[in-house]
Amino acid sequence: MKKLALAAALSLATTAAFAGGYEEPIIEPVIIEEETGSSTGAWIPLLVFAVIAAAAASCN
């Protein structure tokens, strides 16, 4: 009789653990931000070239 009660208690405990069924885990997407290049780097050589060209034009 004790074995039957123990078996009933164990089966009740194991079914209670899975009573909710399977629930798919919620996984949030990972957002990857890519750094964009700055266009200010292209302006600096052009500005230097313009200053040199202006200086060369004023010397003639």
* pLDDT tens for each residue of 4-44: 777 777 676 555 555 567 788 899 988 888 877 666 677 88
* pLDDT value for 38: 64
d(CA 6, CA 25): 33
* pLDDT value for 2: 76
* pLDDT value for 1: 72
Task: Record the pTM.
Answer: 0.34
d(CA 3, CA 5): 5
Q: Which of 29, 11, 27 is nearest to 19 (CA)?
A: 11
Q: How many other C-beta atoms lie within 10 A of the C-beta of residue 57?
A: 8
* pLDDT value for 58: 86
* pLDDT value for 51: 92
